Amino acid sequence: MIPLRDTTRSRTVPYVNYLLIALCVLVFLLELGSDEETSNYLFAVFALFPSEIHRTIFSGDLSVHSIVSLFTSMFLHGGWGHLIGNMLYLFVFGDNVEDRLGHQGYICFYFLCGAGAGLIEAAAQGPSDIPLIGASGAIAGVLGAYFLLFPKARVLTLIPLIIFFPVVEISAFFFLGFWFLIQFLQGSLTLANPGGGGIAWWAHAGGFLAGGVLLPFFLLLRRFSS
């Protein structure tokens, strides 16, 4: 299922959401324009490596690089499909969450969800040397917040069916609930082969849950700061 737009209109201009999308696109264009040596350097420095997380954060031996990589890895993507899919979800669902949390609250929420998702995926992967990249964990947190904030919203959805491509309106509760179920089930299947690479299913499922857990705190923060 491919979301095209939702029916909930944002009351404010989602500056932060636009900025996050722009930064992800710019970094990806930098990746495309780099030679192999530079590209390998970018991944070595800015990607998240589960083996490093296990060696440092999970062992209580914190390092600046391991902590920073939890955030920098969100801006790297592995291809056009990876980038476009992530940015589409962020564009459709992020503006309304930013509207409810405020600009400052939203950016903090986004990065905390992404960091939490990275830690959960690293735990599921084990001490793997396969780099974790992409904004999907942080975006999953946005989806978790949207799921709780706007369950009755309608999502205009493209459903690819081999030769037919119907466009239908689906409730956000069903769309996002089904999305989370798929991530959780797929992640459960990968537990038999941790560190196998591929899609970071637990970053998706973990980010979604992190968004749901963090949302009440940020809503209270917004209420007291306004």
Token duo for residue 83: 């980038």
Distance from C-alpha of 221 to C-alpha of 215, rounded to nearest angstrom: 10
* CB 49, CB 195: distance < 8 Å: no
What is the full per-residue pLDDT of the chain (226 aa) written as tens digits?
899 999 988 899 999 999 999 999 999 999 998 888 888 888 999 999 999 999 999 888 888 999 999 999 999 998 999 999 999 999 999 999 999 999 999 999 999 999 999 999 999 988 888 899 999 999 999 999 999 999 999 999 998 877 778 889 999 999 999 999 999 999 888 776 665 557 889 999 999 999 999 999 999 998 887 6
From the CB of residue 67, how many other CB atoms can be counted at a distance below 10 Å?
A: 13
Q: Where are the domains of the chain?
A: 2-225
- Smallest Cα–Cα separation from 93: which of 20, 187, 182? 20
Distance from C-alpha of 101 to C-alpha of 219, rounded to nearest angstrom: 6
3-state helix, strand, coil in the chain (%, to 5): 70, 10, 25
2-225: CATH topology is Rhomboid-like fold (1.20.1540)
Q: How many CA atoms within 13 Å lie on the side-chain side of 20?
A: 31
**What letters, b where the CB count within 10 A reaches 16 and e where it falls short, cover 52-63?**
bbbebbeeeeee
* CB 195, CB 130: distance < 8 Å: yes
- Smallest Cα–Cα separation from 15: which of 103, 90, 92? 103
- Smallest Cα–Cα separation from 190: which of 138, 125, 127, 122? 125
- Smallest Cα–Cα separation from 15: which of 148, 75, 104? 104
From the CB of residue 73, how many other CB atoms can be counted at a distance below 10 Å?
A: 23
